[in-house]
A = this chain, B = another copy of it.
């Protein structure tokens, strides 16, 4: 088999190529009880004022402030309590001069009243079988009234489409009567691992074989990105069986992720599969470690992600390339990994001919972020994936890095970013400047 010459693309260019092909996934309505973490496909506007009516912020008495104009310690005034209302009840009587309505927090201010005096500030008594209160101070007009619309006015834009639904947004939905809400559809992502060496998770080890961990890991990543996963039985390295399985899987998925088989070895059949499908290969070589052979292709309206069979490369490929396709297709405003700056906590002596993604642990200390490479940085290591919560991004063309250097990291936690790849610390020139500053 001829070894095809592949031209490595810088990471930013590779992601850019992907971005220009993304189409939205479409819209569906879901119930307010099933919309957690979904991406809004409609703007949310206030459908009424909040509060929707003038209401009492305290337990107290609704009064006419005019009645208290001359009230003082020496000249207390007396009002007749004509009614009591709790939240949700509406007074049947108007508050006329000399009268008051006992009112609980959240209840609508009765007609005629223009102020509320708190429970603790009055003396209650029963006189001649009538409930009365005594007030020994003046109360200003509008005192202790939450006015209609003072929090939010009818028609106010509250949340923009493209925002992820949080518990706070659920409160908005409920308040304004959105019992269903328009959200972007979640694409169906198929995951199909390839490799004659693979066993399923419930199989016993055999000589030369390892269990398939990529598919399960990748499925968890993709579910965390908010897509639906279809897990396919892994396949041996056999062109006909692979072609058939992939062609079939494409019928029932929006995105098909394969793992393994994308390199140039004797049993790497994915390049031929793309060819026979007639898929448009956007790139098949990226100037990055790990995962330089990551291949992305489009076929009709479907996506094909050929991730490396190496667990670490597979993980990185999903976060860098699959994530924005899923999330930008939902019009999420920040579809990429979050970017952070951090101080490197130990030397990283390896040179970086290509952009290197180092699994690492980011932690916040008193004066900023610190990042520590996670365990061994062998690309075969699965154990360092346990502690890693970010990837250090070391620009290609840089030599080793010293403890204390300022580096850029990307993380799948946090609010995401609009476009991480123009971050100054991700380019060689600023990296060299940083290293020089150390000396």
A residues with a Cβ closer than 8 A to B are 32-33, 36, 46, 48, 50-53, 57, 59, 84, 86-90, 102, 104-108, 146, 150-152, 156, 158-159, 165-179, 195-198, 201-205, 207-221, 223-224, 231, 236-237, 263-267, 309, 311, 315, 340-341, 364, 366-368, 376, 378, 380-383, 385-389, 413-415
Contacts and interface: CB of A to CB of B under 8 A. Distances in A.
B266 A171 contact: no
A4 to B, nearest CB: 14
Given A59-B266, A168-B386, 9 more contacts: A88-B198, A90-B208, A105-B263, A107-B208, A151-B382, A152-B383, A172-B385, A177-B205, A413-B413
A420 to B, nearest CB: 14
Nearest to A163: B386
Nearest to A87: B197
Please report whether the interface of chain A is mostly helix, strand, loop or mixed according to DSSP. loop
Residue from A90, A104, A216 with most neighbouring chain B CB atoms (10 Å): A216
Contacts of A341: 366
A112 to B, nearest CB: 16
Contacts of A167: 217-218, 220-221, 224, 315, 385
Contacts of A50: 380-383
A107 B196 CA distance: 10
Given A208-B107, A366-B341, A386-B168, A265 B315 contact: no
Contact of A88 (B88, B208, B378): B208
Contact of A168 (B209, B217, B414): B217
Given A151-B378, A195-B88, A210-B175, A33 B216 contact: yes
A202 B231 contact: no
